[in-house]
Amino acid sequence: MPERYALILGSGFTDYLPEGKVHELHTDYGAPSAGIIDVEIGGQSVLTLARHGPDHSIPAHLINYRANIAALKALGVTSIVALNTVGVIGDICKAGQLGLPSQVIDYTWGREQTFFTGGAAGVKHLDFTEPFPAGLRARLLEAARRARIDCYDGGVYATTQGPRLETAAEVDRLQRDGAHYIGMTAMPEAVLAAELDIEYACIALVVNQAAGRGDKPIHYDVAASTETARAAALALVAEFFGSTVA
């Protein structure tokens, strides 16, 4: 079966308004964050969804992740490339660079994190050993190499609840836990995709050093780093989708 790709856009893409046919869907779980726009990227049609809504008005802890993933599934999506801004704890990447995490730790709470809620929906204990399937990650890394885009291979993404950023002590704890990146959105997005048999990769856009790690205030150069990381991410997805045209 040929792949049908979706691109989930996160923070930093509010003014990136792709044009194309818009699918307005309603799912059993409610409405997705925004209309899903069919955009041509790298010569193929890609379904794009603004995770935080078209005007970035939905904070990470209030996103209807189930509606987003169910809507993409209903449109036939088999593979999701997700763009997630993160802070970095150590020195695997600098602000402005990209990473492709290979693992996740979930610190979120109170989010709907399964389609298998019991009763008629059933119960399932998903094997989530590899939250970001190796095949899609490898294809993205190859595209990064071809386009000469710096992209760190691997690392652990800690998903925090937000909307506030972490305390310095919390970052120390996340580091002791083995985390490299901190963001607010990869979970439950990744697990819900896996539950519906959709392969999922996270491109982490590093926009700041984690709390207590830099010598400047955390927001000091977020805007500039976001701009740099965003340009790299858009170049990467253009190369990637351009090389996967069916």
Stretch of 140-148, 172-180, 206-214, 236-244 lying at the interface with ligand HPA (CB under 6 A)? 206-214
The torsion defined by the Cα of 168, 106, 155 and 234, in degrees rounded to 10, comes to: -100
Identify which of residues 77 and 95 has a Cβ nearer to ligand HPA in the complex. 95
Q: Of 41, 70, 86, 204, which lies in the binding site for ligand HPA, with binding defined by CB under 6 A?
A: 86
Sole residue written with tokens 């794009």: 48
Stretch of 25-33, 85-93, 188-196, 238-246 lying at the interface with ligand HPA (CB under 6 A)? 85-93
Question: What's the CA angle centered on 121, arms 115 and 127, to 5 degrees?
Answer: 50
Which of 178, 199, 206, 187 lies closest to 85, judged by CA?
206
Least distance from C-beta 188 to ligand HPA, angstroms?
16
Q: Does residue 85 bind ligand HPA (CB under 6 A)?
A: yes
Which amino acid is present at 26?
H
Q: Of 48, 102, 208, 228, which lies in the binding site for ligand HPA, with binding defined by CB under 6 A?
A: 208
Q: Does residue 204 bind ligand HPA (CB under 6 A)?
A: no
What is the Cα–Cα distance from 180 to 173, expressed in whole angstroms? 11
Least distance from C-beta 89 to ligand HPA, angstroms?
9
The site map against ligand HPA for 149-188 (x = CB under 6 A) is: -----------x----xx---------------xxx----
Stretch of 43-51, 82-90, 110-118, 228-236 lying at the interface with ligand HPA (CB under 6 A)? 82-90
Cα first-last separation, the chain: 10
Q: Which helix (H) or strand (E) holds 38?
A: strand 36-41
What is the Cα–Cα distance from 242 to 246, expressed in whole angstroms? 10
Which of 35, 224, 198, 190 lies closest to 100, judged by CA?
190
The torsion defined by the Cα of 86, 90, 95 and 97, in degrees rounded to 10, comes to: -80
Identify which of residues 76 and 163 has a Cβ nearer to ligand HPA in the complex. 163
Stretch of 26-34, 61-69, 189-197, 203-211 lying at the interface with ligand HPA (CB under 6 A)? 203-211
Which positions lie near ligand HPA, rule CB under 6 A? Answer: 85-87, 160, 165-166, 182-184, 207-208, 210
